């Protein structure tokens, strides 16, 4: 790619050119008609920022406290599978020098795998030199095999995931760990209240990158509902469609304690390994810093609900 990478879409375009089609399609695609996939991004355009001026923004502090840990910014790397398809070093490059478990995230929206049509068309499976090394049994290795016309991942997940999981399993997990437990995949206030009542420390508002059930709301559109439902009794985070610093700022204004990104990290990894991941994170960090400064916010604690308003489409009829 010629020219400098100056935004997340530049990284995606370069990644599209260097990745095998089946791998790019796997990372990029959503479920069924991909309406929610598009809406996750479009949702940020339905909210606009209302900046304050003359606030002395010569110093802007992006740091936040998350589950007792101090972070340099309210932006985290989401869980994304099979990163070695993007770069030989895979997850090792993404997490270089920053490994160490501080909490347990439980994905709660995947009793079955969503219908990902591109994966079905490509009969997607792991390249022959890769396997799921965290599973030692041959039946759960998800290596090269004959999966017919289906997605190899769909066949694998059908064997590997237990659809009987329920809220009582959260209770069981909490009895077996002293780490905070965060549930990933909540999209409504009712489930959010239930999660709090089961003692979780955090909720990640997520629709799994729009890869499970097409037609669900964009995560930004339900963030406000979840935040109001939990009433400060646990942290609320969100992922889905975050592509620029202003997106992060809007999510923070709607009550997210931090924002997670998945695909942008994969694009950076595909472009240049560890250096590419760092570039994406630094790019978004500086975009957020500028967005906060131009909005009159000198620290994350100054970001409030009054900073955003939703576009009123009815008034334009």
Tell me the C-alpha distance between 206 and 202, whole Å: 12
- Chain-centroid distance, C-alpha 129: 27
Query: Distances in Å between the alpha carbon of 149 and those of 112, 122, 157, 256?
Result: 18, 8, 16, 41
Best CA proximity match to 264, nearest among 91, 84, 109, 78? 78
CA distance 223 to 204: 10
3-state secondary structure of 287: helix
- Cβ-based neighbours of 139, under 8 Å, separated by 6 or more: 159
Residue of 87, 129, 176, 208 with catalytic role: 208
* Residue whose C-alpha is closest to residue 127's, from 149, 145, 150, 139: 145
* Closest to 186 measured CA to CA, from 194, 178, 177, 174: 194
Give the pair of three-digit tokens for residue 267: 């694009």
Give one DSSP letter per residue of 172-239, joined into a string.
HHHHT-SS-EEEEEE-SHHHHHHHHHTT-SEEEE--GGGTS-TTPPPHHHHHHHHHHHHTTSSEEEEE
Catalytic-residue membership of 208 = yes
Q: Which residues are catalytic?
A: 208
């Amino acid at each position: 790619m010629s020219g400098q990478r100056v935004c997340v879409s530049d990284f995606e375009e370069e990644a599209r050119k260097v990745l095998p089609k089946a791998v790019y399609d796997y990372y990029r695609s959503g479920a069924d008609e991909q309406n929610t996939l598009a809406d996750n991004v479009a949702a940020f355009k339905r909210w606009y920022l209302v900046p304050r001026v003359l606030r002395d923004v010569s110093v802007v502090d992006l740091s936040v406290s998350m589950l007792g840990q101090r972070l340099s910014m309210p932006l985290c790397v989401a869980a994304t599978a099979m990163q070695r398809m993007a770069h030989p070093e895979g997850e090792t490059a993404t997490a270089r020098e920053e490994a160490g478990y501080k909490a347990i995230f439980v994905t709660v929206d995947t009793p079955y795998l969503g219908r990902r049509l591109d994966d079905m068309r490509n009969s997607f499976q792991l390249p022959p030199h890769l396997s799921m090394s965290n599973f030692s049994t041959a039946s759960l290795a998800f290596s090269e095999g004959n999966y017919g016309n289906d997605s190899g991942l769909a066949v694998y997940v059908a064997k590997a995931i237990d659809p009987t999981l329920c809220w009582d399993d959260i209770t069981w997990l909490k009895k077996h760990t002293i780490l905070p437990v965060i549930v990933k995949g909540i999209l409504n206030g009712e489930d959010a209240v239930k999660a709090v009542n089961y003692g979780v420390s955090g909720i990640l508002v997520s629709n799994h990158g729009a890869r499970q059930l097409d037609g669900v709301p964009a995560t930004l559109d339900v963030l406000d509902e979840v935040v109001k439902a939990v009433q400060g009794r646990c942290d609320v985070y969100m992922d889905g469609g975050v592509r620029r610093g202003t997106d992060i700022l809007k999510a923070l204004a709607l009550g997210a304690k931090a924002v997670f990104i998945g695909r942008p990290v994969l694009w950076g990894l595909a472009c240049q390994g560890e250096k590419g991941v760092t570039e994406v994170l630094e790019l978004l960090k500086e975009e957020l810093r500028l967005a906060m400064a131009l909005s009159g916010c000198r620290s994350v604690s100054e970001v409030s609900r009054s900073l955003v308003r939703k576009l009123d489409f009815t008034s334009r009829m």
